């Protein structure tokens, strides 16, 4: 199977799993929002945002470094490759377990230093278990992505979501209260982790390994990435926490509801890039500029193909989406979603340049850009959130993503002397504008029918604009599943 077929088949599997998980996730979010209401959902949003900051620090770039190490052993002999993969995974898995225990445990104790309600602090303690398993799931996902066995990721995620949804329905019907609702995420992620862990044990000797010299090597390679990701937290995650300093939990609930949707959507680019990035790095190191440029352009076009209609659709349908999920109480969140969806669209494409910079070993060069963006964003949050509440937070989030996109694009051009061609962008933009016009004209339709119609219109128009590579479509269609 060609590289294109492998990437296409595995990405389609992941997207199919992501769509199913997204549907289940939307049911979970909707049940939660309707049951808890804006205030209690705000407590949950504060707790999860607080933990995510520590989760990013705990990761410290280890996910991307794992992909990089696994990509380096692809062309060696099978037996030696398997030993090397086991060695790498065992040590990184051990390191991730220890770092997660330290940082999530520390987060729980540090939460008591903040003037949060006891409900928030207790939720931090419960949800730390959920994010602990998330950390390990991410580590194992790197292994499955690199070995093109993404069906396991799909199975684990969907089973975890089914368990979460089942428990959520039970606890809501039984009216067990806020803490029971929060606890379902721990159990769901535990199931997801066990599926991936037990399957990985059949392929590699996954166990605790303490090669401290290798750990030091990992940390030396990962710290620029880790620092960049930590700085990324300050311009993408801190808005919710800073909002909680100035606004009541209800306002945080509105903003947090929108962010939950964004957090689901922005997991799509890393799924794709986890498959593409090792190939791009391989072409770059081999000085194969033709294939590098070709793969890069296709990746850029593909992410654009998703980002433009997603942004336009979210802008048109934002209010209806939030009312569908959370009920009329969350109607104010619809306006926020219409704004922050632009940050999501920018991030979809910008993630390509950020991850290429890491893959090509330019971690240190991109650090100043992360630092500058983080500083400007933090200043912006503290200036505009007290004045404009969640509108100020949403505006600065868009600004920070746009700024980082410009910085990372500039570094990419400086490194490769390549700029993306915009031919496909114009075709996709044209198809998006036509789709948007239809959505406005048909706005009174059933929401699900409207979304389906929008998708069909977009891809039909894009096809008429000759936005598809027919040879690529033929190759993908011939995939043996």
Q: Would you list the domain boundaries of the chain?
A: 3-421
**377 and 232 in contact (C-beta within 8 Å)?**
no
Please state, in angstroms and rounded to a whole number, the distance separating the CA atoms of residues 378 and 242: 9
Please state, in angstroms and rounded to a whole number, the distance separating the CA atoms of residues 372 and 369: 5
Q: Which helix (H) or strand (E) holds 132?
A: helix 118-146
How much is the pLDDT for 289? 85
Please state, in angstroms and rounded to a whole number, the distance separating the CA atoms of residues 280 and 296: 7
How much is the pLDDT for 122? 93
Please state, in angstroms and rounded to a whole number, the distance separating the CA atoms of residues 430 and 413: 26
Tell me: pLDDT of 6 over 60: no
The backbone region for 417, taken as left when phi is positive above 0, alpha when psi lies in -120 to 50, beta otherwise, is left
In eight-state DSSP terms, residue 114 is: S
Please state, in angstroms and rounded to a whole number, the distance separating the CA atoms of residues 400 and 371: 11
**150 and 144 in contact (C-beta within 8 Å)?**
yes
Does 71 or 91 have the greater pLDDT score?
91
- For the chain, what is the largest distance between any 2 Cα atoms, rounded to a whole number of angstroms? 63
**314 and 336 in contact (C-beta within 8 Å)?**
no
Tell me: pLDDT of 131 over 50: yes
Distance linking the first and last C-alpha atoms of the chain: 11
Radius of gyration of the chain, Cα coordinates, nearest whole angstrom: 22
How much is the pLDDT for 361? 74
- Work out the pLDDT band at 186, boundaries 50, 70, 90: very high
Does 146 or 52 have the greater pLDDT score?
52
In eight-state DSSP terms, residue 112 is: G
Q: ∠394-400-405 over CA atoms, to 5°?
A: 130
71: Cα within 13 Å, side-chain hemisphere? 22
Within 10 angstroms of residue 74's Cβ, the number of other Cβ atoms is 13
In eight-state DSSP terms, residue 111 is: G
How much is the pLDDT for 237? 73
Mean pLDDT lowest for which of 2-16, 41-55, 171-185, 278-292? 2-16
Best CA proximity match to 272, nearest among 232, 294, 300: 300
Instruction: Give the Å distances, CA to CA, from 276 to 14, 95, 340, 424.
Output: 13, 26, 27, 19
- Work out the pLDDT band at 445, boundaries 50, 70, 90: confident
How much is the pLDDT for 210? 83
Does 472 or 179 have the greater pLDDT score?
179
Tell me: pLDDT of 433 over 60: yes
- Work out the pLDDT band at 452, boundaries 50, 70, 90: very high
- Work out the pLDDT band at 478, boundaries 50, 70, 90: very low
Burial class (CB in 10 A: 0-12, 13-18, 19+), 290: exposed
How much is the pLDDT for 84? 72
- Work out the pLDDT band at 170, boundaries 50, 70, 90: very high
In eight-state DSSP terms, residue 204 is: S
How much is the pLDDT for 156? 83
Question: What are 398-415's pLDDT values in tens digits?
Answer: 999 999 999 999 999 998
Tell me: pLDDT of 5 over 60: no
Instruction: Give the Å distances, CA to CA, from 29 to 77, 157, 165, 259, 454.
Output: 46, 16, 9, 11, 23
- Work out the pLDDT band at 326, boundaries 50, 70, 90: confident
How much is the pLDDT for 450? 92
Question: What are 235-276's pLDDT values in tens digits?
Answer: 667 888 899 889 888 998 899 888 888 877 887 787 777 777
Share of the chain above pLDDT 90, in %: 27
Tell me: pLDDT of 291 over 60: yes
How much is the pLDDT for 13? 62
Question: What are 15-69's pLDDT values in tens digits?
Answer: 666 677 778 888 888 899 999 988 999 999 899 888 887 777 766 667 667 766 6
**266 and 348 in contact (C-beta within 8 Å)?**
yes
Please state, in angstroms and rounded to a whole number, the distance separating the CA atoms of residues 79 and 114: 52
Does 28 or 92 have the greater pLDDT score?
28
**314 and 236 in contact (C-beta within 8 Å)?**
no
Average pLDDT value for the chain: 83
Does 455 or 56 have the greater pLDDT score?
455
Tell me: pLDDT of 479 over 50: no
Please state, in angstroms and rounded to a whole number, the distance separating the CA atoms of residues 329 and 322: 9
Please state, in angstroms and rounded to a whole number, the distance separating the CA atoms of residues 24 and 26: 5
**437 and 431 in contact (C-beta within 8 Å)?**
no
Please state, in angstroms and rounded to a whole number, the distance separating the CA atoms of residues 142 and 137: 9
Instruction: For residues 345-353, give the mean pLDDT.
Output: 90
Please state, in angstroms and rounded to a whole number, the distance separating the CA atoms of residues 421 and 439: 29
Please state, in angstroms and rounded to a whole number, the distance separating the CA atoms of residues 59 and 38: 30
Please state, in angstroms and rounded to a whole number, the distance separating the CA atoms of residues 168 and 172: 6
Helices (H), 329-362: 331-359
How much is the pLDDT for 96? 84
Contacts of 126 (CB under 8 A, 6+ apart): 179, 182, 183, 186
């Amino acid at each position: 199977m060609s590289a294109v077929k492998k990437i296409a088949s595995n990405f389609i599997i992941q997207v199919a799993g992501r769509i199913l998980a997204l549907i289940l996730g939307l049911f979970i979010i909707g049940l939660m929002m309707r049951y808890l209401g804006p205030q209690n959902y705000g407590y949950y949003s504060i707790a999860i945002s607080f933990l995510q900051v520590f989760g990013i620090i705990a990761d410290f770039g280890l996910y991307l470094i794992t992909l990089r190490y696994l990509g380096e052993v692809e062309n060696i002999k099978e037996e030696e490759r398997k030993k090397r993969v086991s060695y790498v995974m065992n040590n990184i898995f051990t390191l991730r377990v220890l770092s997660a225990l330290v940082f999530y445990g520390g987060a729980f104790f540090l939460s008591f230093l903040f003037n949060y309600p006891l409900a928030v602090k207790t939720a931090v303690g419960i949800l730390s278990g959920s994010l602990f398993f998330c950390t390990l799931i991410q580590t194992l996902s790197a292994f499955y992505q690199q070995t093109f066995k993404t069906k396991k990721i799909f199975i684990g995620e969907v089973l975890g979501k089914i368990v979460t949804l089942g428990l959520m329905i039970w606890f809501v019907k039984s009216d067990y209260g806020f803490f029971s609702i929060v606890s379902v995420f721990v159990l769901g992620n535990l199931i997801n982790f066990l599926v991936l862990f037990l399957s990985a044990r059949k392929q590699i000797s996954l166990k605790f390994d303490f090669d401290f010299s290798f750990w030091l090597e990992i940390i030396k390679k990962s710290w620029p990435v880790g620092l960049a990701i930590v700085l990324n937290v300050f311009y993408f995650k801190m808005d919710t926490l800073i909002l909680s300093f100035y606004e009541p939990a209800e306002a945080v609930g509105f903003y947090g509801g929108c962010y939950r949707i964004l957090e689901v959507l922005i997991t799509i680019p890393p799924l794709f890039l986890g498959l593409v990035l090792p190939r791009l790095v391989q072409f770059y190191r081999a000085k194969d500029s033709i294939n590098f440029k070709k793969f890069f352009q296709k990746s850029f076009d593909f992410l654009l193909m998703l980002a433009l209609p997603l942004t336009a659709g979210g802008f048109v349908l934002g209010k209806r989406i939030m009312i569908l999920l959370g009920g009329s109480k969350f109607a104010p969140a619809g306006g926020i979603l219409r704004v922050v969806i632009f940050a999501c669209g920018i991030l979809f494409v910008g993630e390509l340049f950020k991850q290429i910079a890491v893959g090509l070993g330019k971690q240190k060069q991109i650090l100043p850009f992360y630092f500058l963006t983080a500083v400007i964003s933090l200043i912006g949050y503290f200036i505009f959130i007290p004045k404009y509440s969640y509108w100020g937070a949403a505006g600065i989030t868009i600004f920070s993503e746009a700024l980082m996109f410009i910085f990372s694009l500039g570094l990419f051009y400086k490194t490769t002397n390549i700029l993306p061609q915009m031919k496909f962008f114009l075709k996709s933009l044209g198809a998006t504008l036509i789709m948007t016009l239809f959505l406005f004209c048909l706005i009174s339709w059933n929401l699900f029918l409207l979304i389906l119609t929008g998708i069909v219109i977009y891809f039909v128009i894009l096809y008429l604009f000759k936005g598809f590579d027919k040879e690529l479509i033929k190759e993908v269609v011939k995939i043996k599943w």
